[in-house]
Amino acid sequence: MVMRLPHLFVFHPNHPDLAKSWTGEKLYFRGDDYYRDLLRSIAHAKKSVDLETYIFEPGWLGDHMVAALIQAAKRKVKVRVLVDGIGSSQFASTYGPRLEKAGIPYRIYRSWPTFFSTVYHRFRILHVFKSIQGAVTLFDSGKHRDHRKQVLVDDRTVWIGSFNVSDWHLERQKGKGTWRDTGLVLSGVKTLVFRLAFHAAWEDPWPNHFKHLYRQALLQWLSHSLEEGPIRMTASRKLRRSFRRELLERGHAARRRIWILTPYFVPTGPLFRALVKACRQGCDVRLIVPRYSDVPMVRWTSMVFYSRLIKAGCHLFEYQKSVLHGKTTMIDDWVLVGSSNLDYRSLRKDLEINVIPKDPKSIRILERQFRKDEIGSREITLEDLGNYPLWQRLFSWFFFRFRFWF
């Protein structure tokens, strides 16, 4: 059977547009500013709006976002919404009817109830071993989530970063409890990579995704188009493996600095050892993690790594002002911004999107923000680790041992 891709996606990986992926960059560190400008961008959309996010929860922001999408659809703009089945568990019941009434298609990426019912129906007594194998495969694929946050407006403006559709990103709603995040808008986008990745997730026919030839073709084209470019889109096992390898190679090659800001620090063994090695070789290794986490068990797991890093010479800080949710990595002159955490899920399982800013001004802004976040943090010492209560140490040990289960 000959498989044809839609005309939109028939392009050569060496298409000249890929050499200049975008023309402008703007960084955001306040959700109020980010969503003010994003809503304006949607209000001026002329052709299409594709929204993909891990969390889309009910609230002031969710209501205004849906209203903006509905208004865009009334102007004959093609709107699509893709949310994760775990992160946005209330989306279908809360906003689904309003979107359906407006004629806006939406999809839930691998919803959890569907997952359990599918595993159950996959089990067949007459073929015990084959059915067990199928159920295990299905269970593992169900743990892969869509953790990307991207909004594509007219395929020329792309909004990415760590901002979910949640009131926790708005100071006007949460005050001093607002999460610390990082967002980036790319203007004059020429590459089709962002739309291609969205479409690959949109067409995910889970639980039979590993048999779907069309999606595999999309992922193959995506892999080719990402080579040597400034975009890191972990849309497949191959791309996730390539991303881990690049982080590891850059960590080993670092000579001047490794600055990492991440809300969830549970690195792979090789990557952790590369950080320790860089510390011992005199590289300026700085790590900012949250004091207050929205997922406490991840913070407890992270604590297992602290002692060895500090002994090796790492400057380890805990952000004190609120929940830290931004994600930035700086290794010498290489800088990465996006949705990836430095943890097992982002590195091995989830769909993520990151970019390498090219504007020198963007690099300087990120460096200043990192220093600012340091000021809002407290450096952790070995003495601090020794003062942690026994229950916290036990929790750290427990969650570290079972970190691959989550």
Residue type, 37: D
Query: pLDDT at position 391, please?
Result: 75
Average pLDDT in the 112-138 region?
Answer: 49
DSSP secondary-structure letter at 85?
T
φ, ψ (nearest 5 deg) of residue 155? 60, 15
- Strand pairing of 24-28 and 183-187? antiparallel
* Average pLDDT across the chain, whole number: 85
DSSP output for 102-122: TT--EEEES-HHHHHHHHHHH
φ, ψ (nearest 5 deg) of residue 190? -110, -30
Query: pLDDT at position 12, please?
Result: 41
pLDDT interval class at 8 (50, 70, 90): very low
As a whole number of angstroms, the distance between CA 144 and CA 349 comes to: 5
pLDDT interval class at 18 (50, 70, 90): very low
Angle formed by the axes of helices 296-312 and 269-280, to 10°?
30
As a whole number of angstroms, the distance between CA 181 and CA 267 comes to: 20
Say how far residue 174 (Cα) sits from the centre of its chain: 23
As a whole number of angstroms, the distance between CA 181 and CA 171 comes to: 12
Query: pLDDT at position 216, please?
Result: 66
271 three-class SS: helix
pLDDT interval class at 209 (50, 70, 90): low
- Residue ranges of domains in the chain, CATH in brackets: 11-230 (3.30.870.10), 233-405 (3.30.870.10)
Average pLDDT in the 320-343 region?
Answer: 96
pLDDT interval class at 133 (50, 70, 90): very low
Residue type, 128: V
Please report, in angstroms and rounded to a whole number, the separation of the first and last CA atoms in the chain.
39
Tokens 């991440």, residue located: 262
Element (H, E) at 8: none
φ, ψ (nearest 5 deg) of residue 201? -75, -35
Lowest mean pLDDT among 14-18, 76-80, 188-192, 270-274: 14-18
Query: pLDDT at position 264, please?
Result: 94
Question: 176 burial class (0-12, 13-18, 19+ CB within 10 angstroms)?
Answer: exposed
Query: pLDDT at position 236, please?
Result: 84
Other Cβ atoms within 10 Å of 215 Cβ, number: 22
Angle formed by the axes of helices 213-226 and 237-253, to 10°?
20
As a whole number of angstroms, the distance between CA 9 and CA 364 comes to: 35
Q: Is the pLDDT of residue 307 over 50?
A: yes
Say how far residue 300 (Cα) sits from the centre of its chain: 21
Q: Is the pLDDT of residue 226 over 50?
A: yes
Q: Model pTM?
A: 0.85
